[in-house]
Amino acid sequence: MFSAAITGTGVFTPEHTITNDELVAAFNAHADLFNAENAAAIAAGTIEAKPHSSSEFILAASGIERRYTLDKEGVLDPTRMFPKLPNRADDEPSLMAEMAVDASLQAMAQAGKSADDIDAVICAASNHERAYPAIAVEIQQLLEINGFAFDMNVACSSATFGIQTATDMIKSGSISSALVVCPEICSAHLEWRDRDCHFIFGDVATAVLIERDEGLQGDHFKIKSTRLATKFSNNIRNNNGFLRRTRDQMEDRRDMQFMQNGRKVFKEVLPMVSKHIAEHMNDEDVQASDLKRLWLHQANKTMNDYIGKKVLGRVPEADEQPNILQDYANTSSAGSIIAFANYSSDLNAGDVGLICSFGAGYSVGSVILERA
C-alpha cells in the first residue's frame, strides 16, 4: 500500500459580490411586486403574501455577510431573481470546466506539477451543468492531462468523497496522482425568491491535488485517514432531473430548486457529524488536544460553533476553526476546502488537522491530515 498527500490547493472566486443589504433590497422589491400582482388572491386568502427579508435575520441565523456570484444583475433584478449566464456553444469550454481549470492551475502551480504528472481528474460537485459528457473529462482535456476523469455528486460532501476516492486509488497503486475539483454554481439552483433560503449560497470552485507520498519535495499534508458515511433524508432536496419532461413538469415549480427543512437539518446533521468525527478520531487515536485545526463545511456559523465545541471539548479559538462563510456563504462542497486552502500554511510539521464536510444525502466525510 502507498500513502497519499495533498500537495496543492486552488480557489477560483467570481468577481461579483452581493452583500446582505443588496440581497434584501432586491428580495423586498420582488416581494412587493409579487404582493401587488396577487393583491386580490392575497385578500381572498388563496395566496399568502410574501413577507420581507432582513439583513439582521440573515447574519444572526447564518453568520453570512456576503456571497460571490457569477452574475449579480439577474439575481438582483426583482422581476427575475436568478442569474443570467450567457449561452455557450458546444465547442466552447463549459462554465464549470472553466472555473475548475482556473482552480486546478493554482493547485498545480502550488505543487510545482504539470499535466504530465497527473493521472486522473474527479469533478465532485452538487450539480453538473449537463448530463454528459462528464465535466471532468472536459477539464482533463482542457488541462491536457492523460489518464481518465469522471464526475461524482454527493452534494455538500462531494469534496471529501472525492478526496477519499482519489486517496484510495493512489494507495492501491492504480494511479499516482489526481486532481479533485469542486466547481459549484450554487446561484443557479438556489431559490432566490424564497426568504427562508435566499441568502444561503454562493459560487466558487476549488481544486485539490493529491499525490503518492513518495519523495515529495515542498510543502504537503499527509492524508492519514479518510472516512465517509451517508443516511438517506428528504430534508435537503431538489427534484429537478432528466425525468422532468416525462412528468409534464416543465412549469416554474418550487421543488425544481433547492429546498430544505433547515431546522430539521440542524437537529439531525449536528449529532451525526459530531459522532462521525469523534469515532473517526477515536479509531485513529487522535485526541482533541492533538488537533491544531478544524476545516469544517461552511453552511452556518452556529452549526460550526457547535461542532467545534463538541470535537475539542471547549470553545475553539477563532484560528483553530476558521470560518469563511461570512465572505463566501455556503459554497456546498467547496466550503471546507476554501477554509483549508486559506488557513493551513501556518501549521508546523507534525501538526494534525481535520477536514469535515456534511450536507444533503445526508452525507458526511472527514479527512485527517498531518503537515509534513
Residue partners of 104: CB distance under 8 A and separation at least 6: 10, 121, 139, 143, 179, 181, 207, 209
10 Å Cβ neighbour count for 57? 14
Catalytic residue among 156, 182, 186, 356: 156
Q: Which of 18, 205, 265, 339 binds ligand COA (CB under 6 A)?
A: 265
Contact status: 266 vs ligand COA (CB under 6 A): yes
Binding of residue 149 to ligand COA (CB under 6 A): no
Q: Which is nearer to ligand COA, 3 or 54 (CB)?
A: 54
Residue nearest to ligand COA as judged by C-beta position:
262
Q: Are strands 120-124 and 177-185 parallel, antiparallel or unpaired?
A: parallel
Q: Chain centroid to CA 97: how far?
A: 16
What does the alpha-carbon distance between residue 256 and residue 247 come to, in Å, rounded to a whole number?
13
C-alpha cell at 170: 493512489
How many angstroms separate the first and last alpha carbons of the chain? 19
Q: Are 208 and 220 in contact (CB under 8 A)?
A: no
Of residues 263, 285, 289, 348, which one binds ligand COA by CB under 6 A? 263
Residues within window 188-207 making contact with ligand COA, judged by CB under 6 A: 195-196
Candidates 5-13, 50-58, 138-146, 211-219; binding stretch for ligand COA (CB under 6 A): 50-58
- If one asks whether residue 156 binds ligand COA (CB under 6 A), the answer comes out as yes
- Residue number with CB closer to ligand COA (175 or 228): 228
Nearer to ligand COA, 54 or 141 (CB): 54
Residue 197 a catalytic site member: no
- Per-residue interface string for the shown chain with ligand COA, residues 320-339, x marking contact by CB under 6 A: ----------x---------
Q: Is 158 in the site for ligand COA (CB under 6 A)?
A: no
Query: Closer CB to ligand COA, residue 125 or residue 209?
Result: 125
Query: Which residues touch 289 (CB under 8 Å, ≥6 apart)?
Result: none
Distance of closest approach, residue 152 Cβ to ligand COA, in angstroms: 17
Q: How many residues bind ligand COA (CB under 6 A)?
A: 20
Three-state SS sequence of 264-318: HHHHHHHHHHHHHHHHHHHHCCCCHHHEEEEEECCCCHHHHHHHHHHHHCCCCCC
Contact call for residue 359 and ligand COA (CB under 6 A): yes
C-alpha cell at 151: 464526475
Taking alpha carbons only, the member of 244, 242, 329, 229 closest to residue 277 is 229
Q: How far is the CB of 95 from ligand COA (least distance, A)?
A: 21
CB of 297 to ligand COA, least distance (A): 8
Which whole-number Å values give the CA distances from 353 to 200, 281, 287, 339, in the listed order?
Answer: 26, 11, 11, 12
Say whether residue 106 binds ligand COA (CB under 6 A). Answer: no
Cα gap 217→115, rounded to integer Å: 17
Residue count of the chain, please give it. 372
Q: Near ligand COA by CB under 6 A, which window of 145-153, 209-217, 219-227, 255-263?
A: 255-263
Interface positions, 52-71, toward ligand COA (CB under 6 A): 53-54, 57-58, 61-62
Judged by the rule CB under 6 A, the positions of this chain that interact with ligand COA are 53-54, 57-58, 61-62, 156, 195-196, 236, 260, 262-263, 265-266, 299-300, 330, 359-360
Point out the residues that are catalytic. 156
